[in-house]
Amino acid sequence: MAKLLVSLLALPFLTGALPADGLVSRGDRSHDADSFNVSQFVPSDSYAPQKHGIPFPLKDESIQPWVKLNQPSQIAAAAMIDAASTCTPLTPSNPSTWWYESVTHNGLSSFMSSNYRNEYSVFRNVVTDFGADNTGATDASAAIQKAINAGPSNGGPARGSGNYGTTGQPAVVYLPAGTYLMSSSIQLLVGTVLVGDPINPPTLKAAAGFPNDHVIYAKDPNFGGTINFYIGIKNIIIDSTSVDGAQSLALLDWTVSQATQLANVVFNMPNYSTGHVGVTSQYDSNSNIILNDLTFNGGAYGLKLSGQQWILKNIKTSGTTTGIKAGGFSVVCQACSFAYAATGIDATGVSGTITVIDSSGSNLGVFLQGTNSGGAGNSVVLENVSYSGTTVQLSGSTVLTGSVTDTWVYGDLYSSGSSSRGLARGTTVTTPRSSSLLSNGNYFITQKPPTFQEYSADQVLNIKSVAGLPVYGDGSTDDTANINTILAQYAGCKVIYFPAGTYIVTNTITIPAGSRIYGEGYGTAISAIGSNYYNPNSPGTMVKIGNAGDVGVAQIVDIIFTVADVLQGCKLVEVNIAGSNPGDVGLWNSHFRIGGAAGSKVETNCGGSPDQCKAAWGLIHLTSSSSAYIENMWGWTADHDLDGNNGQTISTGRGMLIEATKGTWLVGTAMEHHTLYQYNYNNAKNVVSTFQQSETPYWQGPGNDIAPIPWSSNLIASDPGFSSCASGDAKCGMAFFERISGSSDLFLYNGMVWVFFNNNGGCSGDCQSNAINILKSSPLYIYGQGVKSVTNMFLESGSPIAKQGDNQGGWGGNIAAYLHDS
């Protein structure tokens, strides 16, 4: 997350101003996306990191697995289960209702006070539990809001009342098929996921004369946009076709940040209606990763966005006057299509790079409109775009017509073999994509995250409901053995559903070939503890996805990976398996959180110096035998406490280590606040990454530990050693955004390196020396690289090549294309 203008917001519940029913006011709505002003998003030097999250007074303080770990009542070995009677290979049975609606829902908010924990329901069916009318005859909005707000059924405070932290109130608000008449808007809160049946997506239909300015407000109004995490909407249709097209109405406001999900949603508006907008993000600054698999029919705008950065994947618009009005420092459109619009993409609000790949337009006035600033900002990169007509217009002048089969670049360009900046003004360069990454000539993508809707409820196993193999997910019992037994037993035979809860593990969980795993909202976490994770020179793996050489299916959806203790020898996830086909192996909407939340000693014991809190060895390792698709992943070492007030000075060693060679797809990932690097491409090949956002640890820089401290004695060959930094040069000894070594055929679009602080406070001028170091690699294709407050954007073998000062634009420096040995 970024600390933009979050200033110390007056939190209403801290002053007791919150209404007793838990309903919240909607905050400042005075902004309009048209008034987007980049400079208002830049923090001032006096700005300090936010220290406070949401209080969690109704936490069960006695749950401290690092002090007392419970043992399951029974541990059974795999051999005790009769394989033949329980395991029938999964084949699609194409049911008419989604398994998730009828499966046993026994999820928990693991750390909620014992007075309430068993009375708090994570899953809420709006029809059967809250009486919403799904025939479309009478208003359903009040019932849906009740479902969102509901706290424990035995009289505990409502959600949103400031009693459950950020992570203590997970809620999946489920909409069965049908039509829901909306007579007024609904308001989501942190921890809320609104989910429809993907087989027959429910429609939220705004009533004629709708009284509010949005149908759904996603941003929890108690908090700034940049700390609105863990909110989701999927598998629904929002419809405003009964509302007068001239009435000012947006279907959804999405002023939220990382670890959120807006996916597989259709927005139906009257064709070319002048007043309707599909999605806005207008109520604050925000720091999003991805919006994916969305369809917009009609409206003045499909998406009208301002914020830091976005990847917009598989977006379709038709009958929308402007498909996407994009704002921010870095925006990608991947696999987008626009039809029957005056403008496909209005990128005049993008001050860094807009990149459009594998996209098409038909029947448009203009495909993309932008600004010609003459400098490095407002860069445009188009690759594999089909359109006949005016393709790019900058400040009113047409600069490109017709299709782009290769890569078209407008902005600063570093050509292969050249160490000086060139000015591309519509230059075409060649990007020979690896065939292993492609599907019909486009980079492979999934059309929506897996829902496993092709399987019926009896093909799904609730991991907490297997006789003889108790699994608790209660944040205090060692679930290692029985989870491993169940996964081994049912791989290839059942979809494994992990109800909300924190599953404590003391040794490696192995996810075998054949696994399909589904978590619940943002409430399902796997959390490591114990001596297998103590040795930083021989780290233990918490979750191992396949073994080297395995080929098969391993799909993981909606899981959080975390640590319950300060574990300098914990590698959280290692992927070894490859799929037979792209997408067979992948992680979707699955995120990392190191510290910053209830249920971990890292939250309460890391207020000191970084060397006292080496909380994890690293987050995720894609090994040389792996081939994985990763979409929507936030790898976060906490910079503040989401559930209270504890200081969080945490040193996680590494972010993402990529050594994969067989085809890797990174579609919307972010790595933040890891000590040595955010991303490390080490002997990697055939990788496409269409968006990678990062931040450096807030504590790094002059006045604090100089990297590789506190990991100096635990480095491995692929780690940056920082040996070229002069002794004591604290701006040099800061985490690399990217190290690229011994790698080839990397296709990296839109990288972001945001640096706000030194030693937790403001920094004057540049805060950090170096972003990316390239060592012995070829060829590399890097497009849309942005930095904020970093002196050197690219180094080769430790020598600075491209500097922020030579490429001023975006939030600091911006380079449209950097081609290395291509």
Ligand X SMILES: *[C@@H]1O[C@H](CO)[C@@H](O)[C@H](O)[C@H]1NC(C)=O
Binding site for ligand X (CB under 6 A): 37, 39-40, 241, 270-271, 298, 319, 358-360, 384, 386, 440-442
Tell me how far, at minimum, the Cβ of 28 lies from ligand X, in Å.
15
Q: Which is nearer to ligand X, 31 or 516 (CB)?
A: 31
CB of 43 to ligand X, least distance (A): 11
Rank residues 442 and 759 by Cβ distance to ligand X and give the closer one: 442
Minimum CB separation of residue 361 from ligand X in Å reads: 10
- Chain-centroid distance of CA 435 in Å reads 27
- List, in order, residues 6 or more apart from 118 with CB less than 8 Å away: none
284 or 358: CB nearest ligand X: 358
- Per the listing, tokens 């209830």 go with 598
390 SS3 class:
strand
Q: Nearer to ligand X by C-beta: 8 or 80?
A: 8
* Cα-Cα end-to-end distance for the chain: 34
Give the integer Cα–Cα distance in Å for 670 and 691: 8
Rounded to the nearest whole angstrom, what is the least distance from the CB of residue 45 to ligand X in the complex? Answer: 14
Which CB atom, from 239 or from 672, has the smaller least distance to ligand X?
Answer: 239
Cβ-based nearer residue to ligand X, 386 or 683? 386
User: How many angstroms separate the CA atoms of 400 and 113, rounded?
Assistant: 61
Q: Which is nearer to ligand X, 136 or 721 (CB)?
A: 136
Look up tokens 């679009």; give the residue.
Answer: 749
CB of 624 to ligand X, least distance (A): 29
782: CB partners within 8 A, 6+ apart: 746, 748, 751, 772, 815, 817, 818, 819, 820
Q: Strands 337-370 and 390-394, how do they pair?
A: parallel
Q: Nearer Cβ to ligand X, position 318 or 718?
A: 318
Compare residues 241 and 401 and give the one whose CB is closer to ligand X.
Answer: 241
**Residue 587, Cβ density class (10 Å: 0-12 exposed, 13-18 middle, ≥19 buried):** buried
Least spacing, CB of residue 177 vs ligand X, in Å: 21
Beta-carbon contacts of residue 318 (< 8 Å; ≥ 6 apart): 296, 297, 298, 338, 339, 340, 341
* Closer CB to ligand X, 183 or 360, in the complex: 360
Q: Are 219 and 228 in contact (CB under 8 A)?
A: yes
Q: Which helix (H) or strand (E) holds 484?
A: helix 480-490
Judged by beta carbon, residue 542 or residue 688, the one nearer ligand X is: 688
Shortest Å, Cβ 642 to ligand X:
28
Q: Which residue in the shown chain puts its C-beta closest to ligand X?
A: 441
Q: What six digits make up the tokens of 493?
A: 């035979």
Tokens matching residue 721? 């050693």
Residues 816 and 806: their CA atoms lie apart, in Å, by: 13
CA pair distance 613, 460, nearest whole angstrom: 39
Instruction: Give me the least distance between CB of 115 and ligand X, in Å please.
Output: 46
The residues facing 95 across adjacent strands are none
Between CA 726 and CA 734, with CA 728 as vertex, the angle to 5 degrees is 85
Residues in Cβ contact with 210 at an 8 Å cutoff, skipping those fewer than 6 apart? 182, 183, 184, 240, 243, 247, 249
Q: Which CB, 57 or 402, lies closer to ligand X?
A: 402
Query: Residue holding tokens 């209660």?
Result: 474
CA distance 493 to 660: 28
Do residues 382 and 405 make contact, with C-beta atoms less than 8 angstroms apart? no
Rounded Cα gap, residues 723 and 643, in angstroms: 38
| Smallest gap from residue 339 Cβ to ligand X (A) | 9
Q: Least distance from C-beta 315 to ligand X, angstroms?
A: 13
Smallest distance from ligand X to CB 297, Å = 6
Give 135: exposed, middle or buried? Use CB within 10 Å, 0-12, 13-18, 19+: exposed
Nearer to ligand X, 34 or 821 (CB): 34
- CA–CA dist 126, 192 (Å, integer): 13
DSSP code per residue over 548-599 = TT-BS-EEEES-EEEESS-EEEEEEEEE--B-SSTTSEEEES-EEEESSSTT
Sole residue written with tokens 């080297």: 548
442: how many CB neighbours lie within 10 A of its CB? 15
- Angle formed at CA 40 by CA 255 and CA 283, multiple of 5 degrees: 20
- Nearest CA to 700 among 743, 753, 749, 649? 649
Instruction: Name the residue nearer to ligand X (CB basis): 336 or 771.
Output: 336
Task: Report the distance separating Cα 688 and Cα 439, nearest Å.
Answer: 13
Shortest CB 314 distance to ligand X, Å: 11
**Strand pairing partners for 748?**
689, 782
Q: How far is the CB of 553 from ligand X (least distance, A)?
A: 27
Q: Kindly state the smallest distance separating residue 256's Cβ from ligand X, in Å.
A: 22
Residue type, position 592, single letter: F
Which is nearer to ligand X, 258 or 407 (by Cβ)?
407
Which residues contact residue 10 at a Cβ distance below 8 angstroms, ignoring those fewer than 6 apart? none
In angstroms, give the least distance from the CB of 408 to ligand X. 13
**C-beta of 170 vs 663, nearer to ligand X:** 663
| Nearer of residues 319 and 599 to ligand X, judged by Cβ | 319
Token pair 């319950």: residue: 564
Cβ distance to ligand X smaller for residue 360 or 612: 360
Give 819's strand partners: 781
Rounded to the nearest whole angstrom, what is the least distance from the CB of residue 360 to ligand X in the complex? 4
Euclidean distance between CA atoms 131 and 146, whole angstroms: 10
Q: How far is the CB of 42 from ligand X (least distance, A)?
A: 8
CB 579 within 8 A of CB 553: yes
Cα angle for residues 170, 173, 174 (degrees, 5° grid): 135
